[in-house]
Structure 1
Amino acid sequence: MQHHLFFAEVPFKTGDMIKEIFTLQHKLGSGSYGVIFSAIYSSGPNQKHVAIKLEKILP
């Protein structure tokens, strides 16, 4: 019996901005449902490091 691992592909990469408040820093991991990135959340003068999960789009 063969085991196949499927990893999600999402249309984002390091440096991309999402909704003009999240800047993707680097990929932390991925799985069959999505990818987790380290990101910077910016709201006015405030910034903080966050993790953000981006889920793949199903056909």
Structure 2
Amino acid sequence: MRIAADTSVCVGAGMCALTAPRLFDQSDEQGTVVLLDPEPRGDDGAAAREAVERCPSGALSLAE
């Protein structure tokens, strides 16, 4: 599994960082998504899926 984050679409809602803090953060400058681990494993995979589903702007995607 690989996560992709499109910062040009991100609205800075922070749902990703709240849902999966080991995988996502927010930039200090723009408040947009910062991808900490693009290839989650184990329990982080489930958290990544949940974060993608909760993203209000659709800035996150997964590829298996």
- Specify the TM-score bucket, using the shorter chain as the normaliser: under 0.3
TM-score, scaled to structure 2: 0.25
- More strand as a share of residues: 1
Higher-Rg member (1/2)? 1
TM-score, scaled to structure 1: 0.26
Instruction: Compare relative contact order (CA 8 Å, sep 6+) and give the higher one, 1 or 2.
Output: 2
